[in-house]
Every structure is written in structure tokens, then in C-alpha cells.
Amino acid sequence: MPLTIDRTQPKAVVFGCAGTSLNAAERSFFRAAQPWGFILHKRNCADPAQLRTLVAELRESVGRSDVRVLIDQEGGRVARLAPPHWRAPPPASLFAQIARTDVKRALDAVRLNARLVAAELFDLGIDINIAPVLDLPIGKGDLVIGDRALGDTPEMASILGRATCEGLLAGGVLPVIKHILGHGRARQDKSEALLVVNASLDEMQSADFVPFRSLQDMPCAMAAHVIYRAIDRDAPATASRTVIDEIIRGMIRFDGVLMSDDVSDISRTHPIDAQVSATQEAGCDVILHGSGDMDEMQRVADAAMPLSENAVERLHRAERMRRRPSAIDLAETARKLEELLKPLGARARQSGTTRSSEIVGNVAKKIERDIVLGRILPKERIMEDELVYGLGVKRHVARAVLQELARTGLVKLEPYRGAVVRHLSPDDLVKLHDVRQLLIAAAVQRIRLPVSPVLMNKLEHARQIHRSAISVGDLELAYVQDRAFHDLLLEATGNEFIARSINDCDAGMRSIDAASLMADNLVEPALVEHDEMVKALEDQDLQRLGKLCAAHFDRPFAHHMANGVRH
């Protein structure tokens, strides 16, 4: 449907709502605020009938047929529509994995998957999908991207990204390429509240910018709340006139609709009204605010301006790219996609072992790493279908994996909802940390001296591999070896019951402990403490070892309690 422009333009904002239907306050607010669009989150999506009604309510609330409804339906762990009412789209990394050996098969699979996503969205009245992810995971970058990336090379991300866009457009849904200029190498910086990229402009031009330049003809893009130090040392891309004018509009030559990432994500550290003004003045066409918090939405609406003339023109061009979808056989399309994905699933099932118990253990460890390293966040759901279609395991294996994760305390099983990643309150974390520190102190005093040469060699081996993994940015290997190092220390007690009790406490604390792999101010002290722990054992000094262990776990815990967790 062509975009109708009223004489008085709507506000250049996209708002979320709190629940599965609009309340009276939201209806009144949206009628007065007149946002350009709305965004849906998991909290808004219960079942197809409810969601169609909500979409209609959103449109009725502003009294305009041109209002647009957006959603994040990437696939994998970022999918607002989930089983049992909707399909579980595979994570983007699955297509990248196929492309390494069969590019044509990967392209066919990506297009079919995007076409199926578009069919579901179009049926619900949803106009825009905030996908694909074109970020390249590079080095020790922020793990929020991880398996959401379509490739680890510019070429792969470009061709798979275009195929995704083609599938969405064929289904009548506009794609949004993200997160321009690139989120994959962004890291936390102790001097900044936002993520930072320290790479040179030449480095980014030869890698990060390439997929966005290749897809510069797409209708929409989303900018990241990331500071690119080589371009603008102070402002994030969303609020930097230099980044938007010189790089996005200039060097990359993207002239479509530019949206900001969700401003509610940074409202804790950046006053939201000032951020909205800075973002619009910098040149973002549309500002996204998705939390549904009424107080924040009012401040955003007060600060936001109507759509600019340039934004209106870009929105017109975007709408001209929208196609009326032709009918497809959904069941047959899904069957073809499953056939294209099947060889990968078969290899996954046959790699190294055919015993279900070992497969369960391997898959559970993979998901544990994803949770601990922040790829799957607290309160996120993990469904059986995601494991069956995303990892290529049989359904009974997927069920056993979720049960194993629940046994270790990483997730909670909920009827008809799969598993939900456990979320602990600050008070719970304080209590758990206190218990674990008491148990560790008791464990250290029970280490039998002298420690055997065999065990000392294993400890030294784990320490060296852990340090090497940190130096090359292999966080998965670093996490595995960090766990191995501490398990070996517990083995030295000769008391499997105290070791098991500490591991039970660890389940709730591992994401916090993993901060020592990622935060610059925690990495080096953790490495030094590992060195000193080995030395204390060699010197048979349990008192010094106890102090080192206490400090080793206190530091990331204090960091977490002071800074909180990004969601």
C-alpha cells in the first residue's frame, strides 16, 4: 500500500506497547503522539488471532492507514514469533555454515526461509522485519551478535544478506539491514557506558562496511548505539552527524530510511529526551523506542519532531520497493527448506558419536556457552523446535538437552513454553555469591598437599591454553579452559560432594564469572590470579590460595553489581 502523507506529518518515532492488547492510557497517548510506526516484542505475541487484533488496535489508535508495524524476526534466539503457534526460523549462522561448503544450497535455503518469515508476517499485518544482520563477528567483539551473523567474511554476509532481503521483499515485507556501520567488533570500554569500536577507518572500510555498501540499495537500515572512535570519539553512530553524513550517506552511499536502534536500551546511561533530540538532529529519519514504558514514551514524544522532508521522500521510495506477494504453498516451501537443511543436521548427528547421551551432553554444553557468553539472555525462551531445526538433533535429544540444562540450574522448564533462561534478582545473586565463597574457602582448606605432579601438569596445561585463547580472542575456548582450570582445583580436594555443591552454585554465577573473559579491566587480573594460584599450590600455601580464589570471584561479581547486565 503506498504511503499516504498527511499535511501534518506524524512524529518520526516507532513505539512499543506493554502487553497483548492496548489499554485506555496507551490508546489515548498514541492518538495524541501520532507515531510513524509501532514495534512488536515477544511480550505482545501470544497467538495469531490475538496478534492480528493487536495490530488492528495499533492502527486504529492513531487513525491512519499508513502507520507501519515492525518486528524483529531474525530467527534463532531473536524471534518474537515462536512455537507452538509459529515456526522456529533457524539462526543466521546455520546458513553461513552451509555456505562454507555449498553456497548455492545456502542461498536457496536463505531465500526460502525469508519467504516463509514474510508469509507469516504479512498474514498478521506486519509490514517491516528488522533483519538481516550484516555485522561481522571480529576478534573479541561483543557477543550480542554471535550466531545472529550471516557470515564471518564480508562476501558471505553480503550475498546471504541480499538473499534474505529478496525473500522478504518477495513476500511483501520490507527488510531493515543492521547494524550499520557494524556491531561485530564492538567491545565494552571501562571509560564508556556504550560499546566502542577502536578499529581504524581503513580496517572498517575493508571489512565491516562492505556488506552495507553491497546492500546500499535496500529500503531501510538500522544504526547502532556504538561509538566508532576513528570517526567520532564522543557520539554513538545514532547521534553522530559525522558518522551519518560522511560515512553512512557518503562513503557507504546508503540513501534509504535510517532508523536508530532502540533508545530505551541506553536510557539508563543517557537521558532519553536529550538522546532523541541528538539522534534526530544527527540525521536519523526514524527513532525507535520499544520498551512500552509510558513515562519514557511521553518524554520521547515531547522531544521528537515530525518526519523531515528527506525522511518522507525516503519512506516513499521504500514503499515503492514493496511487492504484492504471490501465493505460495507454505507446507511445500517448509518441506523444501527442511530438505536443504537436512544434510547439515545429519552431519551434526553423526559427528564423532551416535550415542544419544553424548550428543545430549555436547549440545547442552554448547547452549551453556551461549548463555554464559551472553548470546542467549536471561528470560529468553529456548524451544525444542529451535534445537531440532537449528542444530539438526532429533526431538527426543532436544527434550533431553532442555532437561539437562534445567538440572544444572541454567534454565527453568515451563509447560508449553519450553525452557526459560533463569534470571536471578540482585538479592538472590548476593546470597548465592556468599554461599559459593564459603564453599570455596572450605574447599581450599581440604586440598590434599602436596598436589600430585599429574594434576599439577593438567592445571598448568589448562592455564596456558586459557591464556592463549584470551590472547587470540577465542572466548569459547577461554571459557571452556577456565572451567577446566577450576574443576581441576576442586579435584585436588578429593571431595566430590563439595565440588558438586560449588558447581551447583556456579550455574547461577557463570555469566558473571565470564565477565573476566570480556571486560578489559577484569581480564589481566584474572590471568595473573591463575598464575599465582598455580604458584601457591607449588609452594603448598593454602592461605594464599584461599585469598586468591576469593578475590578471583569477588572482582567480576562486584563489576556485575555495579554495572548491571545488558539485555
Q: What is the rounded CA–CA span in Å between residue 198 and residue 230? A: 7
Region for 7 from its dihedrals, namely left if φ exceeds 0, alpha if ψ lies in -120 to 50, beta otherwise: alpha
Amino acid 102: pLDDT: 85
Q: What is the rounded CA–CA span in Å between residue 144 and residue 128? A: 22
Domains and CATH numbers, the chain: 13-265+282-301+314-320 (3.20.20.300), 352-421 (1.10.10.10), 426-563 (1.20.120.530)
Query: Per-10-residue mean pLDDT for the chain, 567 residues long?
Result: 51 96 97 97 95 97 94 93 91 89 90 97 97 87 77 91 95 96 81 82 93 96 94 94 97 96 82 92 96 94 95 95 89 92 53 57 83 79 78 80 87 80 86 91 92 89 84 77 89 88 79 68 88 93 94 87 59
Amino acid 354: pLDDT: 40
How many angstroms separate the first and last alpha carbons of the chain?
Answer: 35
Q: Which helix (H) or strand (E) holds 260?
A: strand 257-260
**Cα dist. 505→281, 405, 469 in Å?**
48, 14, 25
Q: Which helix (H) or strand (E) holds 381?
A: strand 381-382
Amino acid 186: pLDDT: 85
Amino acid 356: pLDDT: 64
Amino acid 288: pLDDT: 96
Amino acid 188: pLDDT: 73
Cell of 18: 506493554
Amino acid 11: pLDDT: 96
**Cα dist. 66→20, 35, 37, 404 in Å?**
22, 11, 9, 48
Cell of 229: 572512535
- Return the amino acid letter for 199: A
Q: Are strands 418-421 and 195-197 parallel, antiparallel or unpaired?
A: unpaired
Q: Specify the pTM.
A: 0.67
Cα torsion angle, 58, 63, 66, 67, sign: negative
Cell of 324: 504484492
Using the structure block, give the residue that is written with the C-alpha cell 525473500. Answer: 167
- The residue among 399, 549, 396 whose CA lies nearest residue 485 is 549
Amino acid 337: pLDDT: 93
